[in-house]
Amino acid sequence: MEEEEVEIVEEGAYVPKKKPVLDEGVKELLSSKKKPKFKRQQWYQFKRLKDKWAKPKGMHSKLRRGYRYRLPMPSVGYRTPKKIRGLHPSGFKEVMVYNLKDMEGIDPEKEAIRIHGRIGRKKREEIVKKADEMGIRVLNRGI
């Protein structure tokens, strides 16, 4: 009889992240060009302005009027294709988890979980442990 080789992973050793099962079309769309980072006009001039997007409203604003030498402005042309809309950049569909009961019925091939931000350390550890047992990817491990 031949014995199967069992891979022993040391605790704390690197374990590669789980990848989703995707068809070629979706893989290609996910790797295609990304949209630009939309920034507020004059964000670089004043410390009090963050580089978060804010629609320009000034009457003489060159950005509002769409001058080509200005920053890109969000428009319908930047919308993501329907096949990948709402997917995480890794290709998984995100499922928000609040407790262990929410993990029932998750497909580990296509879905990954995101633990809600207000979940405490103890419950978060339980959720991560159960996710590892079920083979589900956790997008925000935090441990």
Q: Provide the mean pLDDT of the chain.
A: 90
The structure's pTM equals: 0.72
Of 77, 80, 106, 83, which Cα lies nearest the Cα of 24? 83
Which pLDDT belongs to residue 49? Answer: 94
Q: How far apart are alpha carbons 32 and 22 in whole angstroms?
A: 15
Whether the per-residue pLDDT at 3 is higher than 70: the answer is no
Which pLDDT belongs to residue 142? Answer: 77
| pLDDT-based confidence at residue 4 (cuts at 50, 70, 90) | low
User: pLDDT of 26-67, one tens digit each?
Assistant: 989 988 888 899 999 999 999 999 999 999 999 999 999 999
Query: Of the ranges 8-17, 33-42, 47-56, 82-91, which one carries the lowest mean pLDDT score?
Result: 8-17
Residue 91's region, left for phi above 0, alpha for psi from -120 to 50, else beta, is left
Which pLDDT belongs to residue 6? Answer: 60
